[in-house]
Amino acid sequence: MLLALAGALALQTTLAGLTIGGATAVNLVLVAVIYVALAFGPVAGLLAGSAGGLVQDALAGGIVGVGGFSKTLVGFLVGLLGAQFIVAQSLPRLVMFVSGTLVHELCFQALYALVETRAFRMHWSAALTQAVVNGLVGILAFQIVEAGPGLMQRRRARGATLSRRHY
């Protein structure tokens, strides 16, 4: 879990300039938080959200804690809903990634509006674009992780059959 968060943070800071329409195209830390929440439950999602969010806030600048709280809330809620419903297929997982991203963005923008005493502004097109990209990246991550053990087992089996052949 920590390795996934560290990798997401490193990749997110590397891809910081990648934007679509002036907004960040993907939030890999949020994808990692939602993945952990779906895979390990609400407590792991809460811990991953608080750790990943606070570190991302500290690296990105701005107000430390706003992203941490938003990711903590999303990690807990997604983990709670993932434990209550069957999310073993791609479509329910996609719904969780997209809705988790939208809840994160709503919470993030609302907290910034409260702290900075400004009007609440939500850029829906950018939020929906990020939600869809996050969903696709999350589904891809689940498929890679779930296919990993099967690939290794097939590779070992193929290597064992090749080593028994005598030419």
Encode the chain in three state secondary structure.
CHHHHHHHHHHHHHCCCCEECCEECCCHHHHHHHHHHHHHCHHHHHHHHHHHHHHHHHHHCCCCCHHHHHHHHHHHHHHHHHHHCCCCCHHHHHHHHHHHHHHHHHHHHHHHHHHCCCCCCCCHHHHHHHHHHHHHHHHHHHHHHHHHHHHHHHHHHHHHHHHHCCC
Single pTM value for the model: 0.84
Q: Containing domain of residue 79, as a range?
A: 2-164
Domain count, the chain: 1
Residue 2 scores a pLDDT above 70: yes
61-86 pLDDT, tens digit each? 888 999 999 999 999 999 999 999 98
123-149 pLDDT, tens digit each? 899 999 999 999 999 999 999 988 877
Q: What is the pLDDT of residue 22?
A: 57
Q: What is the pLDDT of residue 97?
A: 97
For residue 90, what is the domain's CATH number? 1.10.1760
> Rounded mean pLDDT of the chain?
87
Q: What is the pLDDT of residue 100?
A: 97
